[in-house]
A and B are shown apart, each in its own frame.
Chain A
Amino acid sequence: MSLIRLDRISRYYRMGAETIRALEEVSLTIDRGEYVAIMGPSGSGKSTLMNLIGCLDTPTSGVYELNGLNVSEMDDNQLAEVRNREIGFVFQTFNLLPRATALRNVELPLIYAGVAAEERRQRALEALERVGLGGRVNHKPTELSGGQGQRVAIARALINRPSILLADEPTGNLDSKTGMEIMAIFNDLAATGHTIILVTHEEDIAHCARRIIRLRDGRIASDEPVRK
């Protein structure tokens, strides 16, 4: 069974009197362990698609099944729980809490999952160790470089062992060298069986993935494996 199944998903926005059709009847399946890049120019609907896959938003019509659950019917709180359990986000701007230490940032998903303090700390330390930040657990985001910040974000995304790692332009705010370091982490994670979905508009980043889905005007323009 596929991990993600989108069946004729549409998402419309109302802007005053006008209706913007961000996604139009998109159908898509992604299996467990896949490494997928979603590409497209701005306005193509890739952010909307990412928000839907990430359960931050619900479709106007169509069915979305994640891990066998019909997510398109869920309410706010159920979605929050699904996000907590199934999805790890990595954002372009890192989105770390500025006043919290790296450790506390990484612990955050576990707090909302109701994990006790002792275990939380243990797991967060391990996750930070895994992304090579074992020595900076008590630094605040402002005291970390961009690459380090994104590593904290990856550690946070992985901490609750989600089904999907969802990365939205993860290298967008980094120089190319640091960007490649971050991509190396993603490649490693993919190699160890994590399901990764990468949203990007950079060809060379997208080519790290094994499958590229291209969007245009709210529809899938192409969906093909990467030839290496």
Chain B
Amino acid sequence: MRFIIELQEALLIAWDAVRANKLRAGLTTLGIVVGIVTVTLMGTAIQGIQRGFRQSISVLGTDVLYVQRFDWFINSHAEWLRQQRRREVTWSQFKALERQLSSARAIAPMVDIREAVKYKNRSATGVTIIGTTDQFLVTGGVGIADGRFITAEESEGGRPVCVVGAQTATNLFRGEPILGSRIYVGGHPFEVVGVLEKQGEFLGAFSLDNQVVIPIGQLTAHFVPFPDYTIQVKVGDESRLEDVREEVRGLMRKIRRVPPGDDDDFAINQQDQFIKTFNRVTGVIATVGLFITGLSLFVGGIGIMNIMFVSVAERTREIGIRKAIGAKRRNILIQFLLESMCICLLGGCIGLALAAPLTLALRRLMPATMSFGLVGLALGVSLVVGVIAGFMPAWRAARLNPVEALRNE
């Protein structure tokens, strides 16, 4: 109870002191303001990039394994050279894995190439042509907007059907009826049986909607007779990801006849790897941001400390009066600590007020929002700076000798 009364009084004095020197307090907070703006924008930007990234790679599927010849991320030249010597993943290996794999929900082979696509006199170049089976609908996580996907019978057989991506469809057909019409992929005719749902871009690099899906049998017949396959394995349940991964690994070693003790000569990639690599990058950005923030907060803190020394010197007589009347050391200490915290909190609030419109500007580039956690962090940081910067001056004030303090004019 007593402590609360003392705290109320200290808070009142502190606030009064800040109000009495508005301009001075305002100028002093500049360093803190800069620091807080940096910390909030940095945090917002990192969160924004992360969110954008996650949205973008979600197309890979959190529970899909990609069995391939190469790792997605190769960290050294030596490793790259080693993986170059790996054998390709063949059709028979896919069939063997498909036959033996028991724990997965779906499995599909996938080969992609770039080809020109033509409809009547309109053509699009550099379209991604994906050769796969009906299972791709499950493993790839794509939806059908119109018509149907290729069937199991069509997958390996010879019927030239295709399913076009949303963007390819608009580019080529421009409103003309799509289903049942004929397009030419690399000069070979295909009948359009379906249109895929819109999927967006992958990491801002290329559109996932500019593609044509054809049966794998058609792809090997017309374009690449012996391609290097990617096998997509849909686990169906994230918690079993590791189990399935182990089964796939064991089976692939057996199928590719990897001698016991040797390293795998194939890769099992998953979305997780993208996230790990990405987190390393954002970690670097965060470290640099932290350094800049720390620097400006440090400089700001020194400014606050300076002005607090001035404040203590100006009010030496007041300190003397308070002590004579019965203020203990802690009363004086808290009074000046709170004053310093008030100034810093003011800086924090100004900083947040400036950062808010900047966040809105940032939103044009990424899905950025200023989170409550970040606001709390910013205010917390300013309070901590206030305590640290105010401690020395407050400590000195608390230890003043009342007789000398009263003599001060």
> B284 within 8 Å of A by Cβ?
no
- In the assembled complex, the Cα of A63 lies from the Cα of B5 at a distance in Å of 34
Shortest distance from the beta carbon of A38 to any chain B beta carbon, whole Å: 16
> A99 within 8 Å of B by Cβ?
yes
Contact of A54 among B2, B317, B324 (CB under 8 A): B324
29 A-B pairs whose Cβ atoms sit less than 8 Å apart in the complex: A51-B403, A56-B323, A57-B401, A76-B328, A76-B399, A77-B328, A77-B329, A77-B330, A80-B328, A80-B329, A81-B328, A83-B323, A84-B326, A95-B317, A95-B320, A95-B321, A95-B324, A95-B406, A97-B318, A99-B16, A109-B326, A111-B9, A112-B6, A112-B327, A114-B1, A114-B5, A116-B5, A117-B5, A156-B325
Would you list which residues of chain B between 311 and 353 have a CB under 8 Å from chain A?
317-318, 320-331
> B78 within 8 Å of A by Cβ?
no
Residues of A within 8 Å of B324, CB to CB, are 54, 56, 83, 89, 95
Shortest distance from the beta carbon of B334 to any chain A beta carbon, whole Å: 12
Report the nearest A residue to B332, measured CB to CB.
Answer: A80
> B402 within 8 Å of A by Cβ?
yes
Residues of A within 8 Å of B399, CB to CB, are 76
Shortest distance from the beta carbon of B143 to any chain A beta carbon, whole Å: 66
- In the assembled complex, the Cα of A77 lies from the Cα of B399 at a distance in Å of 10
> A85 within 8 Å of B by Cβ?
yes
B residues whose Cβ falls under 8 Å from a Cβ of A: 1-2, 5-6, 8-9, 16, 20, 317-318, 320-331, 399, 401-403, 406
Residues of B within 8 Å of A109, CB to CB, are 325-326
Would you list which residues of chain A between 30 and 65 have a CB under 8 Å from chain B?
51, 54, 56-57
- Please, what's the 1-or-0 string for A111-147, where 1 marks a CB less than 8 Å from any CB in chain B? 1111111000000000000000000000000000000
Number of A residues, CB within 8 Å of B: 28
- In the assembled complex, the Cα of A85 lies from the Cα of B327 at a distance in Å of 11
Q: A99-B20, A112-B331 are in contact. Are A57 and B403 (CB under 8 A)?
A: yes
- In the assembled complex, the Cα of A55 lies from the Cα of B167 at a distance in Å of 88
Highest count of chain B CB atoms <10 Å: which of A57, A76, A115, A117: A76
Report the nearest B residue to A104, measured CB to CB.
Answer: B12
- In the assembled complex, the Cα of A198 lies from the Cα of B102 at a distance in Å of 102
A residues whose Cβ falls under 8 Å from a Cβ of B: 51, 54, 56-57, 76-77, 80-81, 83-85, 89, 91, 95-97, 99, 108-109, 111-117, 156, 160
- In the assembled complex, the Cα of A160 lies from the Cα of B9 at a distance in Å of 17
Q: Is the CB of B5 within 8 A of A76?
A: no
- In the assembled complex, the Cα of A83 lies from the Cα of B321 at a distance in Å of 11
Q: Is the CB of B20 within 8 A of A112?
A: no
Q: Is the CB of B326 within 8 A of A56?
A: no
Residues of B within 8 Å of A97, CB to CB, are 318, 321
Q: Is the CB of A113 within 8 A of B326?
A: yes
Which 8 pairs of residues, A with B, have the shortest CB-CB distance? A84-B326, A114-B2, A112-B326, A80-B328, A111-B9, A77-B328, A56-B402, A95-B321
Residues of B within 8 Å of A112, CB to CB, are 6, 322, 325-328, 331
Residues of B within 8 Å of A56, CB to CB, are 323-324, 402-403, 406
Shortest distance from the beta carbon of A48 to any chain B beta carbon, whole Å: 9
Residues of A within 8 Å of B326, CB to CB, are 80-81, 83-85, 109, 112-113, 160
Report the nearest A residue to B317, measured CB to CB.
Answer: A95
Q: Is the CB of A116 within 8 A of B328?
A: no
Residues of B within 8 Å of A91, CB to CB, are 406
Shortest distance from the beta carbon of B16 to any chain A beta carbon, whole Å: 6
Residues of B within 8 Å of A160, CB to CB, are 326
Report the nearest A residue to B321, measured CB to CB.
Answer: A95
Residues of B within 8 Å of A89, CB to CB, are 324-325
Report the nearest B residue to A111, measured CB to CB.
Answer: B9
- In the assembled complex, the Cα of A57 lies from the Cα of B8 at a distance in Å of 29
Q: A89-B324, A99-B16 are in contact. Are A115 and B403 (CB under 8 A)?
A: no
Residues of B within 8 Å of A84, CB to CB, are 325-326
Residues of A within 8 Å of B329, CB to CB, are 76-77, 80
Residues of A within 8 Å of B2, CB to CB, are 114
Residues of B within 8 Å of A54, CB to CB, are 324
- In the assembled complex, the Cα of A131 lies from the Cα of B172 at a distance in Å of 97
Shortest distance from the beta carbon of A122 to any chain B beta carbon, whole Å: 15
Q: Is the CB of B5 within 8 A of A115?
A: yes
- In the assembled complex, the Cα of A171 lies from the Cα of B164 at a distance in Å of 101
- In the assembled complex, the Cα of A95 lies from the Cα of B324 at a distance in Å of 10
Residues of A within 8 Å of B317, CB to CB, are 95
Q: A54-B324, A76-B329, A108-B322 are in contact. Are A114 and B6 (CB under 8 A)?
A: yes
